[in-house]
C-alpha cells in the first residue's frame, strides 16, 4: 500500500532514501537542506513523498509564497506593472503553492532506483494530487509546477492530463563541452564573437581565486549580489548571505565560489556546483563599472569553460538569463514549461487571459529565439 506524506523540513526524510530518488543530481538532499537553513524570506518549503511498506519510492520539492504575476515581465511591460503597483498595491500578488524550487534549475520529480519506468506516471499523478491536497489545507488556491523540464516527458504528460494550463518557462542554457582546448572552443563560434573573446583574453584581466569558504567576504559579496539583482527584470527570490555560506558549507567539494579581484578589491564572484560530469552556474554577481572595464562576464565564462575542459566535464549548465549572450556563445537550450491551475474556475479563466501578457518571451527577442530553437 502506498502512503503519501508532506513535510516542512527535509531533515524529516532519510538522506540516502531521498538521494536514491534523484541519482546524479547536484541539487540533492544536501543542497535543499542548505537552502532550507539559509532562511530565504517569503518562502516556506514542502517536501512531498510517497512510501510503500515504509520505503520512500517517490518525492519532490515544493514551496509556498506570495507570487507576483508580473515577475516575468520585462521592458515596457515591467514599467507599466510597476506604475500600476504604486497606485494599486498588491494588484499582481497572489498566494502560490508550487512544485519545484525558486533556487533549482528545474522541477525535480524523482522515483526510487528500483521503480520501473512504466510505474512512474502513476506515482507522479499521486504526487500532484498530494500537492493539490496540501495546497487546499494551506488555504492556497493557485497550484503550479515551476519549470517542468522537456526532458521529462512523463511529468509533462501527467501535468497536461491533470488539466493544468501551461505556458513556456525560462529555458535552461547548456554548453556541451566537446573541445580539447579553449582555443578549439573559440574556433566553434561565429567570427565576431571569436574576435571579441580573443581580444578579452589578450588584455590583462582580474586575478581569479577558487574558494570553498567565503565567510570573510560575505559583506562585499552581498553588495555585489544586491547591485546585480537590482539590475535584473526577472528576479523571483532575494537570496540572503546565508544561502552562499550554507551551500558552500554543506556541499563540500561539490560547490565552489570563483572570486575576481582587481588588486585588493573583490569585483565579481561566481557560485558553482560541480561533480565529475558537469558544472552548474548558480549565480554571477559583479560590479557593473568594473565589468565594462574588464569584461567580467566574458572572463568568468571563459574561466568556467577552461575548468570544464581541464577537468573533463561533459556539460556546462549556465542558467536561465542572458539569452542574447548565450546564443552568441554557442549554447543549446533545454525547454521548461510552467503549469498552473486555480481551484476557483473564475480565477482560472482570468489567469488564462493574464498568461498572454506575462509570457516571458513577449518582451525579450533573445529569449523568444531561445524558446523557438527548442520547439
Q: What is the mean pLDDT of the chain?
A: 90
d(CA 316, CA 70): 30
Given this model, what pLDDT does residue 61 score? 98
pLDDT, one tens digit per residue, over 142-159 is 999 999 999 999 999 999
Reduced to 3 states, what is the DSSP secondary structure of residue 63? strand
Q: Residue 93 CB: number of other CB atoms within 10 A?
A: 14
Question: Does residue 19 register a pLDDT over 90?
Answer: yes
Terminal C-alpha separation, the chain: 40
The pLDDT of 305-331, averaged and rounded, is 93
pTM of this structure: 0.90
Question: Does residue 28 register a pLDDT over 60?
Answer: yes
Given this model, what pLDDT does residue 80 score? 45
Given this model, what pLDDT does residue 72 score? 52
Residue 125 buriedness (CB in 10 A; 0-12 / 13-18 / 19+) = middle
Kindly state the helix (H) or strand (E) to which residue 284 belongs, with its residue range.
strand 278-286
Lowest mean pLDDT among 21-35, 267-281, 349-363: 349-363
pLDDT, one tens digit per residue, over 206-263 is 999 999 999 999 999 999 999 998 887 666 678 999 999 999 999 989 999 999 999 9
Q: Which residue segments constitute the domains of the chain, with CATH numbers given?
A: 2-170+337-374 (3.40.630.30), 173-332 (3.40.630.30)
- Which ranges in 235-330 belong to alpha helices (H)? 241-250, 288-294, 296-310, 323-328
Question: Does residue 164 register a pLDDT over 90?
Answer: yes
More confident residue, 282 or 94: 282
d(CA 132, CA 167): 19
The pLDDT of 310-326, averaged and rounded, is 92
Contact in structure between 367 and 322 (CB atoms under 8 Å)? no
Amino acid at each position: 500500500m502506498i502512503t503519501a506524506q508532506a513535510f516542512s523540513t527535509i531533515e524529516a526524510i532519510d538522506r540516502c532514501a531521498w538521494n536514491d530518488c534523484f541519482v546524479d543530481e547536484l541539487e540533492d538532499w544536501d543542497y535543499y537542506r542548505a537552502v532550507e537553513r539559509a532562511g530565504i524570506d517569503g518562502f516556506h518549503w514542502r517536501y512531498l513523498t510517497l512510501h510503500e511498506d515504509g520505503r520512500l519510492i517517490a518525492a519532490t520539492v515544493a514551496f509556498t509564497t506570495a507570487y507576483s504575476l508580473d515577475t516575468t515581465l520585462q521592458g515596457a511591460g515591467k514599467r507599466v506593472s510597476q506604475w500600476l503597483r504604486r497606485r494599486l498595491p498588491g494588484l499582481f500578488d497572489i498566494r502560490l503553492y508550487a512544485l519545484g524550487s525558486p533556487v533549482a534549475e528545474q522541477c525535480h520529480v524523482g522515483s526510487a532506483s528500483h521503480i520501473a519506468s512504466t510505474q512512474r506516471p502513476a506515482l507522479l499523478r499521486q504526487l500532484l494530487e498530494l500537492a493539490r491536497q496540501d495546497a487546499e489545507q494551506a488555504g492556497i488556491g493557485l497550484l503550479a509546477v515551476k519549470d517542468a523540464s522537456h526532458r521529462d516527458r512523463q511529468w509533462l504528460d501527467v501535468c497536461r492530463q491533470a488539466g493544468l494550463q501551461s505556458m513556456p518557462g525560462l529555458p535552461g542554457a547548456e554548453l556541451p563541452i566537446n573541445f580539447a582546448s579553449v582555443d578549439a572552443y573559440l574556433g566553434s563560434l561565429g567570427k565576431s564573437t571569436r574576435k571579441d573573446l580573443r581580444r578579452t583574453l589578450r588584455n590583462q584581466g582580474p586575478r581569479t581565486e577558487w574558494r570553498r569558504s567565503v565567510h570573510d567576504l560575505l559583506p562585499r559579496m552581498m553588495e555585489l549580489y544586491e547591485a546585480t539583482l537590482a539590475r535584473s527584470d526577472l528576479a523571483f527570490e532575494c537570496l540572503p548571505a546565508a544561502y552562499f555560506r550554507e551551500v558552500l558549507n554543506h556541499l563540500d567539494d561539490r560547490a565552489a565560489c570563483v572570486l575576481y579581484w582587481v588588486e585588493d578589491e573583490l569585483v565579481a564572484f561566481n557560485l558553482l556546483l560541480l561533480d565529475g560530469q558537469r558544472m552548474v552556474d548558480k549565480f554571477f554577481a559583479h560590479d557593473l563599472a568594473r565589468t565594462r572595464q574588464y569584461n567580467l562576464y566574458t572572463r568568468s565564462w571563459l574561466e568556467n569553460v577552461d575548468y570544464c575542459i581541464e577537468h573533463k566535464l561533459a556539460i556546462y549548465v549556465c542558467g536561465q538569463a542572458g539569452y542574447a549572450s548565450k546564443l552568441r556563445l554557442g549554447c543549446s537550450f533545454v525547454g521548461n514549461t510552467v503549469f498552473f491551475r486555480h481551484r476557483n474556475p473564475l480565477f482560472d479563466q482570468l489567469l488564462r487571459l493574464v498568461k498572454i501578457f506575462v509570457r516571458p518571451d513577449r518582451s525579450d527577442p533573445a529569449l523568444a529565439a531561445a524558446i523557438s530553437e527548442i520547439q
